[in-house]
Amino acid sequence: MKNLQIIKPFVVALLLSGSCLVTAEIKKINSLQCAEKITGVKDIMAEGERIQKTKMGELKDIEAKAQKMIGEVQKERTDLVAKRTTMNSDAIYKEEKKIQDKERKLQEMQGDYQRIMHDLETEMQMVQMRLQPFIVEAIQNAIEVASKNPSIEAVWDEATNRMVYTKESADLNSEVMKLTEKKNEQKTTLAKNKAAKPAAPATKVA
């Protein structure tokens, strides 16, 4: 959650204002880190880290056991092919059954792996949902701080990877809408004039 790409402040400033304002400031926050100051948040985050560590340990354990068993199955199949002609049917049956049992075990491991992955995703989503109100509170506090500082043009949140505050003067919507409307009217007028203009008479060929 913390390792998110940060947009460079001066690039964001240009995108927001359309010009390079020396007095404009683009500030950044990490709402998750700010939220850690709220009572109870660290406990939720610690629980999330514990869940992740436990589940990842279980997954790695399955991976190690599966890799070992895959190697055993491959070796046993190779050995069976090499010795098959010298073995009786009963011995062949026993060897094939032993290999098939291990292959079934591998399928069970795959099912366990997928189940643990699903449980991990679900539990981490629950942790994020529990953190969400505190992140919102931290963002609201950032907006409150920024709105009281005239030099702050915008605030970028590294945790949610978005702009959480922009000063009203940085809003280009009205200017863009006016220009879009003007260009659209010009296109419409041009199309009407072209449609109304009579076609030139065809030149007769002698």
Using pLDDT thresholds of 50, 70 and 90, give the confidence band for residue 44: very high
pTM: 0.63
Calculate mean pLDDT across residues 33-60: 96
Give the rounded percent of residues in the chain with a pLDDT score beyond 70.
83
Read off the tokens for 124.
């981490």
What distance in Å separates the CA atoms of residue 156 and residue 185, rounded to the nearest whole number? 37
For residue 13, the model assigns a pLDDT of 43
Phi first, then psi, for residue 54 (nearest 5°) are -65, -50
pLDDT tens string 64-83: 999 999 999 999 999 999 99
